[in-house]
């Protein structure tokens, strides 16, 4: 059977778009392949009742893309571009040294950090992700396809935003594809709350996705380069070159906007507040209703910030390898040098400040009052330097163990609904019409799976798969 193929590209010389869109019609089947130019991209296939309806659907999709600026092209003429990376500079701090207890060399500049109850996570621009204990020893490691932009936690789930445009779930033994971001979104930063995914990009766009990775809404902000996005039950907080904007979850309506005198380079949130580190050397504090709080003055552009619970302490890292601590009112308490690069992300936990740096380190600083007092007098410990293992970590895979035993766990089945693959629970005691948030790269129509746990979303209306997944066989 003859196939009809249309290949389009959208490439901006001064912009971030460098993407392709290919439509293939073969009989009653339409296959869409899309992604960044030079990559294999992602594929979606839909079936239609007749060849005529398939052609009409394909023509509609092509028309939609040409309206957005896509043009006919020859595959392979334009070459792959490097993905957008944050342009950073770092100089040595002249301040006294901070009390660094240990530092783990991940091997490349690192943006991703998350500090949990028992594990420290770091992800770098080589796509390597390490899980460490609180002494810096490696517990586990993963290898993602491209650089890691950020690491976020959502309850018991750990997610990594990757330069390939995807989000991976690192909660099991093998990285699984959790979200496939739309081709028009180039991830700068992301945050997840109860399965709801917020993504900011280079154009200043912010988008919200449902747990089944479908657009809920998207908005274009007043500024560019959205290096800050945080979300919770009440809204999405987006930082860009023109300030911080809060959108509601339901419709993406602007709830408030606050100007900052410089570009927002990083964002942090606590229960009632958000913090924005900016290029004009300030950390801004805003209440989640938009009220203005403390302003913390640093001596150079702020690459990262964090806070202790309830804002008792506010921390910042600048582009001169210094870290700062401020009190709740914004008064500077101290400034010290990291000795291992400028902090691109940071997180406080139990009198320790953890930061990942331009030099690729995950460093653990003792920021207790006694340790800081000693450091300000020049008395600091000799930090232990730890190296990443040479062996590579576990890669992303669609492989599954198989089993025929259903003694423990929950049984789910993959079905096709409206052209999409959905997963529903078969085991008794669950809502049979609720979708299950389930890895996208292991879904096969008609296949049954055994999952360690199925948890109800706190928002209700859908379930989330947690733990190990096995393919059920007869």
pLDDT band per the 50, 70, 90 thresholds, residue 213: low
Question: In this model, does residue 165 exceed pLDDT 90?
Answer: no
Q: What is the pLDDT of residues 242-294, one digit of tens each?
A: 999 999 999 999 999 999 989 999 999 999 999 999 999 999 999 999 999 99
**pLDDT of 142:** 97
Any domain includes 185: yes
- More confident of the two residues 146 and 190: 190
What value does the mean pLDDT take over residues 428-450?
94
Asked if 34 contacts 23 with a C-beta cutoff of 8 angstroms, the reply is no
Residue 80 belongs to some domain of the structure: no
Same domain, 385 and 432: no
Distance CA 273, CA 265 (A): 17
Q: How far apart are CA 316 and CA 304, in angstroms?
A: 6
Q: What is the pLDDT of residue 358?
A: 94
pLDDT at 16: 56
Confidence band of 313 (pLDDT split at 50, 70, 90)? very high
Q: Are residues 110 and 207 in the same domain?
A: yes
Last residue of a domain, one of 347, 374, 394: 394
Q: What was the pLDDT predicted at 91?
A: 67
Structural domain ending residue among the three candidates 378, 394, 410: 394
For range 442-465, the mean pLDDT: 93
pLDDT of residue 440: 87
Q: Evaluate whether 278 touches 266 at the Cβ level (below 8 Å).
A: no
Asked whether residue 369 falls in the same domain as residue 405, the answer is no
Whether 146 and 221 map to the same domain: the answer is yes
Structural domain includes residue 421: yes
Position 406 in a domain: yes
193 occurs within a structural domain? yes
Residue 329 shares a structural domain with residue 442: no
**CATH number of the domain encompassing residue 424:** 2.40.50
- Considering the domain architecture, whether residues 22 and 54 belong to the same structural domain is answered as yes
Region 171-182: mean pLDDT is 87
Q: Are residues 66 and 13 in the same domain?
A: yes
Which CATH number covers residue 45? 2.20.140.10
Identify the pLDDT of residue 185.
59
**In-domain check, residue 27:** yes
Kindly state whether residue 272 falls inside one of the protein's structural domains: yes
- Is residue 254 domain-shared with residue 386, that is, in the same domain? yes
Expressed as residue numbers, the domain containing 453 is 401-472
In the predicted structure, residue 89 carries a pLDDT above the cut 80: no
* 177 and 47 fall within a common domain: no
The whole-number pLDDT of residue 353 equals: 98
Q: Is residue 145, in this structure, part of any structural domain at all?
A: yes
Cβ 3 vs Cβ 25: under 8 Å? yes
Domain boundary among 394, 421, 437: 394
**Cα separation of the two ends of the chain:** 35
Q: What share of the chain is helix, strand, coil (3-state, %, to 5)?
A: 5, 50, 45
Calpha distance 389→394 (Å, rounded):
13
From the number of C-beta atoms within 10 Å of its C-beta (0-12, 13-18, 19+), residue 268 rates as: buried
Residue 474 has pLDDT above 90, yes or no: no
Q: Stretch 121-125: mean pLDDT, rounded?
A: 96
| Statement to judge: residues 380 and 293 lie in one domain | yes
| Of residues 262, 222, 251, 215, the one with CA closest to residue 238 | 222
Task: Quick: pLDDT tens for 282-309.
Answer: 999 999 999 999 999 999 999 999 999 9
Q: List, in sequence order, the alpha helices (H) in 107-248.
A: none
Q: What's the CATH code of the domain at 196?
A: 2.130.10.10
Kindly state the helix (H) or strand (E) to which residue 199 belongs, with its residue range: strand 196-201
pLDDT tens digits for 347-393? 999 999 999 999 999 999 999 999 999 999 999 999 999 999 999 89
394 band by pLDDT with thresholds 50, 70 and 90: very high
> For residues 28 and 31, what is the distance between their CA atoms, to the nearest angstrom?
10
List CB contacts of 382: < 8 A, sequence separation 6 or more.
none
Residues 269 and 303 placed together within one structural domain of the fold: yes
In the chain, the number of structural domains is 3
Report pLDDT digits (tens) over 32-87.
887 778 877 767 788 888 989 989 989 988 988 888 788 898 888 787 765 555 55
Which stretch of 91-100, 101-110, 137-146 has the lowest confidence by average pLDDT? 91-100
pLDDT band of 472, cuts 50, 70, 90: very high
Q: Say if residue 416 is in the same domain as residue 389.
A: no
pLDDT score recorded for residue 10: 84
**Phi, psi at residue 445, to the nearest 5°?**
-55, 130
């Amino acid at each position: 059977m003859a196939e009809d193929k249309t290949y389009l590209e959208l490439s901006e010389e001064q912009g971030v778009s460098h993407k392709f869109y290919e439509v293939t019609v073969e009989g009653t089947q339409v296959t869409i392949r899309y992604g960044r130019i030079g990559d294999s991209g992602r594929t979606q296939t839909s079936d239609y009742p007749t060849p005529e309806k398939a052609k009409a659907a394909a023509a509609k999709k092509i028309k939609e893309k040409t309206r957005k600026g896509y043009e006919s092209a020859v595959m392979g003429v334009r070459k792959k571009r490097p993905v957008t990376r944050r342009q950073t500079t770092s100089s040595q701090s002249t301040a006294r040294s901070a009390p660094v207890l240990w530092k783990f060399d991940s091997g490349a500049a690192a943006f991703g950090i998350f500090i949990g109850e028992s594990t420290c996570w770091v992800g770098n621009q080589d796509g390597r992700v390490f899980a460490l204990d609180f002494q810096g020893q490696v517990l586990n490691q993963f290898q993602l396809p491209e650089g890691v932009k950020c690491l976020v936690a959502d309850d018991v789930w750990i997610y990594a935003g990757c330069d390939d445009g995807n989000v991976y779930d690192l909660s099991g033994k093998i990285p699984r594809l959790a979200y496939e971001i739309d081709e028009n979104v180039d991830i700068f930063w992301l945050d997840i709350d109860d399965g709801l995914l917020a993504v900011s990009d280079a154009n200043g766009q912010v988008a919200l996705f449902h747990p089944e990775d479908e657009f809920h809404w998207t908005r274009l902000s007043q500024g560019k380069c959205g290096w800050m996005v945080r979300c919770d039950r009440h809204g999405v907080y987006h930082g860009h070159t023109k300030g911080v904007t809060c959108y509601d979850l339901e419709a993406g309506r602007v709830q408030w906007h606050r100007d900052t005198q410089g570009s927002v380079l990083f964002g942090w949130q606590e229960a009632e507040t958000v913090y924005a580190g900016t290029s004009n050397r300030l950390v801004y504090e805003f209440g989640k209703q938009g009220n203005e709080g403390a302003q913390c003055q640093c001596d150079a552009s702020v690459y990262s910030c964090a806070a202790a619970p309830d804002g008792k302490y506010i921390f910042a890292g600048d582009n001169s390898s210094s870290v700062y601590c401020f009190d709740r009112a914004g008064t500077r308490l101290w400034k010290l040098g990291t000795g291992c690069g400028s902090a691109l992300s940071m997180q406080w936990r139990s009198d320790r400040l953890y930061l990942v740096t331009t030099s690729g380190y995950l460093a653990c600083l003792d920021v207790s009052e006694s340790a800081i007092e000693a450091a300000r007098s020049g008395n600091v410990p000799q930090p232990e330097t730890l190296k990443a293992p040479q062996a590579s970590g576990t890669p992303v895979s669609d492989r599954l163990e198989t089993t025929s035993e259903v003694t423990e766990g929950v049984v789910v089945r993959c079905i096709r609904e409206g052209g999409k693959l959905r997963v529903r629970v078969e085991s008794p005691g669950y809502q049979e019409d609720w979708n299950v948030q389930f890895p996208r790269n292991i879904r096969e129509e008609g296949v049954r799976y055994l999952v360690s746990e199925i948890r109800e979303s706190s928002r209700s209306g859908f379930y989330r798969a947690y733990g190990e997944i096995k393919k059920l066989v007869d």
